[in-house]
Amino acid sequence: MSATLILGGARSGKSALAERLARESGRDVVYLATAHAGDGEMGARIAHHRARRPAHWATLEEPLALAALLRRECTAGRLVLVDCLTLWLTNLMLCGDDPLPEAGDLLLPARFDDERAALLELLDAGLPGELILVSNEVGMGIVPLGALSRRFADEAGRLNQDVAARAGRVILVAAGLPLVLKGAPC
C-alpha cells in the first residue's frame, strides 16, 4: 500500500490536490466521505465537493467506522481517497451520549480510542492499492477557547503526527500550493 497524507487549512486546496492526484493515478477511485450535513452550511460544503468529483468515482459515506470500510474497499488497482480525517475525528469525539463540558477534563467516548487505534493498526499492517488521506492542519493558530475546541486541536495534531509517521508521502497545502514534507514530489 502506498499512503499519502495531505494536510492544509480550510480552503487551502488540499481536497482539490487529493482529487487531482486520484484522477491522475489511472486507478479506479473510491471516495470515502466522512462528513454529514448537520446544518445548511455543511450541506453546501458537501454539495461543492460532490459537484467537482467525476461521476464515475464510487462514493461511500462513513462518519465513524473508517478502518472497517478501508479494510473492505482498499484493493489492488484501486485508489481510495478519504476526505477528511478531521471531520471523522469530530464525529468520533461527539458520538457519545455524555454532555460536553465547557471547561475542565473532556471524557471522550470509548469508541474514539477504538476507531483511532483500528485506523493506525490498519496503516501499520498495510493495505493493497493506494490510499490518500486528507486532514486539516488546525494547530498553526491561537490556542482555541473552550475544552472541546482545545481537545479537538490536540487530538487532530496527534492523529496527523501518527498518520504522517506511517504514510510514505506527506504534503502540506497552503494557498493551493503543495509542499512535499515527506516522500516523492507530486
Catalytic entry in 36, 48, 49, 56: 49
Q: Cα 139–114–151 angle (5° rounding)?
A: 25
Report how far residue 34's alpha carbon sits from residue 22's, in angstroms, rounded to the nearest whole number: 17
Q: Do 131 and 74 form a contact (C-beta atoms < 8 A)?
A: yes
- Has 48 been annotated as catalytic? no
Q: Diameter of the chain by CA atoms?
A: 49
Report the 10 Å Cβ neighbour count for 30. Answer: 22
Task: List the catalytic residues.
Answer: 49
